[in-house]
Structure 1
Amino acid sequence: MSGNNNNNSGNTGGSKGSTPMGQSDASRIQSSQAKSGGDMSSGGFAARAQGAGDRNANAGGQQSGGTKK
């Protein structure tokens, strides 16, 4: 078995009651992945989290910290 673990059996979001990925969530994931020596490639989980956070922010979903004036 290779080191690439693409298990899609978990909750992939979008279900009723789920919280959308925000940019601050993605930042936290990227930070922990980098500190632990995780996969920082463009196809890794941290990159996918960032993409989801960006899409949700652009769609009016959860926004990263602070208030905008």
Structure 2
Amino acid sequence: MAKSNSNSGARTAMTPSAAARIQGATARSTGGIVAKGSFAARAQSVAARNGAGKSGNGK
């Protein structure tokens, strides 16, 4: 199998804005429902943990 150009080994932290995009897309495709335990819900949880203790929003 040929090697692809994807960076599957590189990891980037989940950001709140990325989690919001994922959750929004899921909600749009499921009529506004984001199921508990879904990828979108887990992404939101990870983004919240990644942002915990960091103050970068100027507040």
Q: TM-score interval w.r.t. the shorter chain?
A: 0.5 to 0.7
How high is the TM-score relative to the length of structure 1? Answer: 0.58
Taking every aligned residue pair, what percent have the same amino acid on both sides?
A: 40
Unaligned runs of 5+ in 1: 1-10
Q: 1:20-35 to 2 correspondence within 5 Å?
A: 20-35=13-28
How high is the TM-score relative to the length of structure 2? Answer: 0.66
Alignment: residue pair count: 50
Rg (Cα) greater in structure: 2
Q: Which runs of 4+ in 1 moved over 4 A?
A: none
**Residue matched to 1:44:** 38
When the two chains are superposed, the root-mean-square deviation of aligned CA atoms in Å is 2.5
Unaligned runs of 5+ in 2: 1-7
